[in-house]
Amino acid sequence: MPTINFSKKDLLNLLDTDENSLDILPLIGIQLEAVDGDEMSVEVEANRADMFSVEGIARYAKGFLGVEKGFEKYEVAEGDFTVAVDRSVEKVRPYIGAAHVSGIKMDDYLIKSLMELQEKLHITVGRRRKKLAIGVHDSSKIGRDITYKAVEPDTVRFVPLGKDEEMSMREILEKHEKGRAYAHLLDGMKEWPLLVDEKGNVLSFPPVINGQLTALNENTTDIFIDMTGSDLNLIKKSLSIFCAALSDRGGKIESSLVKYPDREIKMPEMGGESMDVSLPYISALTGIEMSPEDAVKLLEKTGFSAEIAGENMRVRIPSYRIDMLHPADIAEEIAISYGYQNMVPELPKSVTFGRRSGNYALKKSLEESLIGLGFNEIMTLSLTNPHEEFEKMNMERENGVAIKNPVTEFHTSVRSWLLPSLMGILSKNRHRDLPQKIFEISMVVDRKGKNRMKLAGAVMEGNASFTMMKAIAERILSDIGLKMNIGEKVHPSFIPGRCASLIFNGEEIGFFGEISPEVLVNFELGHPVSAFEMLIDRLQH
């Protein structure tokens, strides 16, 4: 859980209330860690990026204190900043978001809060700047026409933040403390991303360091924000978090036009989204009996608005709430608003004793067999995307179960088989010692939307072969008392003639073989890989 540090006086000024109101913090999921004079430290949930600053904490608390309720509309005025995105960044760091906030009264509280918010977003949702890097600039020092491009590292020199002498981009990675810390994010790239204005002034060298030219100071009134990374949706939502915090300080949000080679996007997007939620579902999940009107009032305390339509609600979600993914999240907000302390605990109405189900008992037997063969068990994400699941496996895209409102562009569907996940793990560990032997037993979702339990294993070593994987598949099935028949199999992920199907009770329940060279290249693997995959739930029949 991230720890947020701020001034108690600053929080009370934002709340426009007295110290007694701070008793509300533990009731809304904010854990008080320490108070040292005027300095406060609190912990917030890692998914609540909107509360990674004192402004966000104050915003959420206002609804519970009755200061402000419902969906807060952030106005976005027409701005004059444009950001031209050059094609050269497509394979380097492809996306950028931008916004401008004017009329800010800068003080020590705000500078400290901006630094805190920037760093917490870098560490958490930004995955230590890999997925998201943020630049905050004094816009009075730069022109209005910005270019985001990739350049050769020795062709540009500028004064990096915190220094007083020019360095080339390569020298920054070698000599600057931030350069050394984040140099690994540019490994293997011949050109590096850069943000400049029409006069050639360097704003930033993402994801490493800003230029000293645009550093904030006590006289700054107008701020230009840039966010670069690999996930445009995450950039948009994080940008709205930053703009909301500055607006809460009295700033005026102004749009910036980001011009990609194939489209134009006006940012920030502060309008929010809507989600339809069933009231009976909320009552069943929370155990709270409530009228539709009561549900709306409870949501308004947490910064949402809702319209009632029979037994359903259409909930309006602020753009900065990046944690709202499912109706269960709306139910949680209602439970927080109602107050867990107000819920009456009940003893279970019956006492039961559990035992292993057939599938679980079979799963444990297979795990023991594979571990005995020297395999390591892994657990990977059930969400994927068509590129990882099909294209990199040398297959045509199939219609699977898509995510309606994906948070990232990497997690847009539910996986239908396990081998792509195993290949991804081997790719991430390709520099480790061989042999590498891994397996996973997990649920997947087939094309009909049905949950299925599958087992997959992969071996990467110089001698990985069809014969080796045939022996492994036969061994693990023999260990659970089953004998398989083997049939011919043609699969685009495997070498032709070196793939076979596993047949049980006259039905194909899996396959094994040697992974094709095309797939190995797609995953940047330099050693042979043999693999297998089978349906576990079919082995019960």
233-242, 340-349, 425-434 — which is least confidently predicted?
340-349
What's the number of CA atoms in the CB half-sphere (13 Å) around residue 121? 30
* CB neighbours of residue 21 within 10 Å: 17
- Give the pLDDT band (50/70/90) at residue 20: confident
45-54, 64-73, 272-281, 509-518 — which is least confidently predicted?
64-73
Amino acid 314 reads R
Average pLDDT, integer, range 464-490: 89
- Give the pLDDT band (50/70/90) at residue 344: confident
- Give the pLDDT band (50/70/90) at residue 504: confident
Maximum separation of any 2 CA atoms in the chain, in Å: 78
Q: Could you give all domains of the chain from N- to C-terminal order, each with its CATH number?
A: 3-65 (3.30.56.10), 77-267 (3.50.40.10), 273-340 (3.30.56.10), 358-540 (3.30.930.10)
* CB neighbours of residue 463 within 10 Å: 12
- Give the pLDDT band (50/70/90) at residue 358: low
169 pLDDT more than 60: yes
3 pLDDT more than 80: yes
Round to whole Å and give the CA distance between 250 and 253. Answer: 10
- Give the pLDDT band (50/70/90) at residue 541: very low
Round to whole Å and give the CA distance between 315 and 321. Answer: 13
Average pLDDT, integer, range 73-95: 94
Average pLDDT, integer, range 133-148: 95
Residue 240 in contact with residue 268, Cβ under 8 Å? yes
**Signed CA dihedral, 467, 468, 473, 476: sign only:** positive
Round to whole Å and give the CA distance between 67 and 58. Answer: 10
Of how many residues is the chain composed?
541
46-55, 161-170, 244-253, 442-451 — which is least confidently predicted?
442-451
H-state helical runs in 46-168: 54-65, 108-123
- Give the pLDDT band (50/70/90) at residue 522: very high
70-84, 343-357, 474-488 — which one is most confidently predicted on average? 70-84
Residues 6+ apart with CB under 8 A from 59: 50, 68, 72, 244, 248, 303
pLDDT digits (tens, 9 = 90+) for 93-130: 999 999 999 999 998 889 999 999 999 999 999 999 99
Residue 375 in contact with residue 439, Cβ under 8 Å? yes
Average pLDDT, integer, range 43-51: 92
293 pLDDT more than 60: yes
pLDDT digits (tens, 9 = 90+) for 376-402: 999 999 999 989 999 999 998 887 788
User: What is residue 481's predicted lDDT score, i.e. its pLDDT?
Assistant: 85
Tell me the two tokens of residue 311.
């037994």
Average pLDDT, integer, range 3-13: 92
Please tell me which residue, 117 or 405, carries the higher pLDDT value.
117
Average pLDDT, integer, range 489-493: 93
| Average pLDDT of every residue of the chain | 91
User: What is residue 406's predicted lDDT score, i.e. its pLDDT?
Assistant: 78
User: What is residue 540's predicted lDDT score, i.e. its pLDDT?
Assistant: 60
Residue 256 in contact with residue 222, Cβ under 8 Å? no
Please tell me which residue, 536 or 520, carries the higher pLDDT value.
520
E strands present in 446-506: 451-460, 485-488, 494-504
Q: What is the pTM of this model?
A: 0.69
179 pLDDT more than 70: yes
247 pLDDT more than 70: yes
525 pLDDT more than 90: yes
- Give the pLDDT band (50/70/90) at residue 495: very high
235-249, 331-345, 356-370, 469-483 — which is least confidently predicted?
356-370
Percentage with pLDDT > 90 across the chain: 71
Residue 147 in contact with residue 40, Cβ under 8 Å? no
- Give the pLDDT band (50/70/90) at residue 16: confident
